[in-house]
Amino acid sequence: MGIEKKNETVKIIPLGGLEQIGMNITAIEYGDDIIVVDGGLAFPDDDMLGVDLVIPDITYLKDNQEKIRGMVVTHGHEDHIGAIPYIEKELSIPIYTTKLTMGLIDYKLTEHGLIDNIRRKVVTYGQIINLGIFRIEFIRTNHSIADSCALAIYTPAGIIVHTGDFKVDFTPVFGGVIDLQRFGELGKKGVLALMADSTNVERPGYTPSEKTVGKTFDHIFDDNRDHRLIIATFASNVDRVQQIINSAYKYGRKVVVDGRSMVNVIHIASELGYIQIPENTLIDIDEAKNYPNEKLVYITTGSQGENMAVLARIATSVHNKISLIPGDVVIFSSSPIPGNEKSVYRVMNELEQKGARVIYHDTHVSGHACQEELKLIYALTKPKYAIPVHGEYRHLKRHSELAHEMGIPKENVKILRCGDVLELGEDKFDIVGKVPAHGVFVDGLGVGDVGNIVIRDRQHLSENGLMVVVITLESGSNQILSGPDIVSRGFVYVREAEMLIEQCKDVVSETLSYCLSDESADWNRIKNSIKEDLGEFLWQRTKRNPMILPIIEEV
């Protein structure tokens, strides 16, 4: 694009999205200009007890706020837009993205009371925007949500192509086919680096078209004309919802949508014209009782076995409006995200036990490119450097091998970790530093107030329980007025362990006597001594290690 690039270098700083699925966010920096690509969240691991969401650590962005020119967003999935309200509360960055993605972001910003504070611009495919020294072009791709795009980022050091999440779908449900021609034209100009999606890099061949699922739905609707259908999928998979609605209309069924995120996404997509719902097809959940069961199909959240989602509540009979009927057909239209398999199978088992029939084969296709599609993008763009993104370490490692198979020298492929500062140019491709990039925990209304120490305490409590020791001392004389009293939670059932509790009191009394005989003993020392002595006694007796909390009152 006429930008002089001799001896220039640019920095790529992933703040999330590597060695994990989720929390995608990358800073790209040149001189006094920074652009941010995406702002996603991650869902907590099983060991992050009580945590609702994990959002990126944006310390580096806050420290360099005056350099940030804008945020460009590739598509509307939670792992790419979910953290935007939290980021915008701190930084107020202008946002540039496509129409549906912006609609979903607007909803989030409205929920957080930020919609009037943030400058937002909807862009179209092929459009180029200028953000400081950077020029960013939005390129049409296919994914499991409409309006997805790749980015061509023109920098003084050369062109960086970021694929976003993508697949090659020649028969998409909505919109056009991925703009492979543009990728080829960029390859002819010369691409400095390719940052490509690694999610499906372990799978050979090609990802099937989304339209194949529509045919499967038609067969399922045809085979189950006498049964009520309940279909769970990702709320954001608008094309999947469209195909369910198409089949429902074709087979004369009414559609009920349940689940807050599902209702919101369908409302936004419908308003913006990304989903077509035939008249009188969609009905309110309260109207369902007016129709025979075989004329109904429910579209719900919960395809990942989430505890509070609609499907799990139906399976455990706690949904206040939908009760499972023997003979119901329940369809899981998604693959379990790695780590969610147990939760998904648990819900499936509960549904089957209550007399439902569960279908999960051939009811989903991925939104991510398999090996041959990735090779195609490499062949078209011919990048000098390869930077695998979006995946766990094994995905990034396999992607680096694929890049090498496509002719890129091993020294020109880098597997980055979150927080690495990669400096690259025609003659440079090195990690030159590290910035903070640990996830920040969101727990209820608290953001960042729960850290690793609190999580460790929660794990300790969940595994070993709690023992509270209460002692009352007389002010001045330190005479014991009452106690030690012992309260146990999650350690032993007190009524069945009276002897153990009495022995614990004896141990504490002995420790107290020893400590109080030393006039210089302060309360901290007394508490630590109780923790040590009682902890050692309990370990010897029970081989358990509860959290011990001494409380000393002064009267």
Catalytic residues: 197, 368
Asked whether 439 and 24 are in contact (CB, 8 A), the reply is no
337 Ramachandran zone, left/alpha/beta (phi>0; psi -120 to 50): beta
User: Could you tell me which of 338, 75, 366 has the C-alpha nearest to residue 206?
Assistant: 366
User: In the structure encoding, which two tokens stand for residue 352, read together?
Assistant: 């089957």
Place of tokens 């050979």: 204
Q: How many other β-carbons are positioned within 10 Å of the β-carbon of residue 251?
A: 18
User: Could you tell me which of 285, 246, 235 has the C-alpha nearest to residue 107?
Assistant: 235
Residues near 198 by beta carbon (within 8 Å), at least 6 away in sequence: 388, 389, 390, 391, 395, 396, 398, 399
22 Ramachandran zone, left/alpha/beta (phi>0; psi -120 to 50): left
User: In the structure encoding, which two tokens stand for residue 190, read together?
Assistant: 């010369």
Asked whether 452 and 445 are in contact (CB, 8 A), the reply is no
One-letter amino acid of 158 = G
Q: Residue 16 burial (CB < 10 Å; 0-12/13-18/19+)? A: buried
Looking at residue 495, the DSSP 8-state letter turns out to be G
Place of tokens 């597997």: 415
Asked whether 70 and 151 are in contact (CB, 8 A), the reply is no
Q: How many other β-carbons are positioned within 10 Å of the β-carbon of residue 75?
A: 27
User: Could you tell me which of 440, 461, 462 has the C-alpha nearest to residue 451?
Assistant: 440
Distance CA 429, CA 230 (A): 51
Phi (first) and psi of residue 247, to 5 degrees: -65, -40
User: Could you tell me which of 98, 56, 109 has the C-alpha nearest to residue 76?
Assistant: 98
Distance CA 357, CA 329 (A): 5
Q: How many other β-carbons are positioned within 10 Å of the β-carbon of residue 515?
A: 19
Strand 191-195 vs strand 282-283: parallel, antiparallel, or unpaired? unpaired
Asked whether 386 and 193 are in contact (CB, 8 A), the reply is yes
Q: Residue 296 burial (CB < 10 Å; 0-12/13-18/19+)? A: buried
Residues near 209 by beta carbon (within 8 Å), at least 6 away in sequence: 169, 170, 171, 172, 365
Looking at residue 235, the DSSP 8-state letter turns out to be T
Q: Beta partners for 35?
A: 28, 70
Distance of CA 321 to the CA centre of its chain: 29
